[in-house]
Structure formats: C-alpha cells, structure tokens
Amino acid sequence: MRPSNVPDTRGLFISFEGIDGGGKSTQMVRLVARLRELGRHVVESAEPGGSRISRRIREVLLDPATPELSPTTEILLYFAARAQNVDELIRPGVASGAIIISDRFTDSTLAYQGSGRGLGEELVRQLDRIACRGVKPDLTLCLDIDLATSAARAKKRDRLEEEPDQFRALVRDAYHRMAAAEPDRFRLIDASGTPDEVEQLVWEAVAPHV
C-alpha cells in the first residue's frame, strides 16, 4: 500500500533500451531502488524474461547450442514472451497505479529484428498490435554508448552478443532514429560516463514523470 503522503497518480510504464554493454541492468537496479525509497510501488519486468513463462522462452532464444533458430521463429518468440508480460505484469501493474520498469520492450524488436535482421518495421508493428494491444511505454530510456565500447563491454554470453559490428551499427542507428521520431517518449541517455553520472541523467529524465 502506498504511504498517505504520496499522491495517487495513474500507473507509469518505463522501458530501458540500448545496445549491449550500455549498463542497463545497473541503472535499472538504481532507478528501482530510488523510486521505492520515494514510496512508489514498482513492478519489474524484463524481455525476454520477467515472468516465469517468458524466462522459459528466453532460454530457447538465447541458447548458443541452437544456432539454427530462424529469424521468423526468433521474432515470434520475442513477442510470445512479451505478450505474457503484458497480460501478467504490465497491464495489471499500470491499472493498479504502479510504476512498471521493463528491461527492453518492442523498441528492442524494432532495432534488433526489424533493423538488425532486416525483417522490417511493418512486420514488427503488426506483431506488436497482436501481442501488446496498445500497451506502449510512457517513457523509454535508451542507454547510448559507441560501438567500440559496446563491443569491448559485451561479454560473449549469448547468441546476439556474437553478432558482428555491422549488426550492432544497424541496431544503434535504429535507436537513434526512434529518438528523432519520438523525442518526448524516447530519450537517448549518454551512458559513456561513470555509473553515478549516468544515474543522474536517468533521474533527470524520470523525475518529471513521478
């Protein structure tokens, strides 16, 4: 239950995005802690992951032992995991007035599959309409680092982190286009600084919304 000194606002849906190695997980943990200190009810989600079923789908998606996973199967699995999170975590969370913080959402699929894999924006939008039914982040924080930093920081721990530099470049360009197209919602955060500096930039973007 929310303390009585905290105003009763509608729920808020925030997503984190970015190419691999940008420090998303660290910043999410810090933001969640800060919001909870303010007495806000925070629900965490992750893609692929977040809910029990989505975590099982994640195992299939990111298993390096199955390189034959086709691009079409891959995109459908990402959306299957997302549909479960929308129904189980995000819709009920927003309805109850919580702040939902999701590690990635449809913008990842636009960037990685739509642009990186060349499946195209329209296919991603069609699947989004089926899986998310209008659920979209109110605010997206994209942790932006240059390609060399991304390659150096990303550990070789799953299929996508083994993608070549050209793939990373397509993904990063797609994120930059989203920031230009929707500047109010989609914020590029310079993630080249220290974790404390990046946390400050994240907070400046979030504070007006909470």
Query: Where do contacts with ligand TMP occur on this chain (CB under 6 A)?
Result: 20, 24, 47-48, 78, 104, 108-109, 112-113, 160-161
Please identify, using beta-carbon distances, which residue of 20 and 199 lies nearer to ligand TMP. 20
- What is the DSSP code (8-state) at residue 49? -
Q: Least separation, in Å, of the C-beta of 104 and ligand TMP?
A: 4
Q: Which residues contact 120 (CB under 8 A, 6 or more apart)?
A: 114
**CA 138/CA 135 separation, integer angstroms:** 9
Nearest approach, Cβ of residue 97 and ligand TMP (Å): 26
Shortest distance in whole angstroms from residue 78 CB to ligand TMP: 4
* Residue nearer to ligand TMP on the CB measure, 76 or 210: 76
112/186 with CB nearer ligand TMP: 112
> Residue 3 in contact with residue 200, Cβ under 8 Å?
no
Q: Least Å distance between CB 151 and ligand TMP?
A: 13
Q: Output DSSP code: residue 129.
A: H
Nearer of residues 94 and 115 to ligand TMP, judged by Cβ: 115
Q: CB-based contacts of 22: which residues, under 8 Å, 6+ apart?
A: 143, 144, 145, 150, 153, 191
- Which amino acid type is present at position 41? H
Cα separation, 83 vs 192, in Å, equals 33
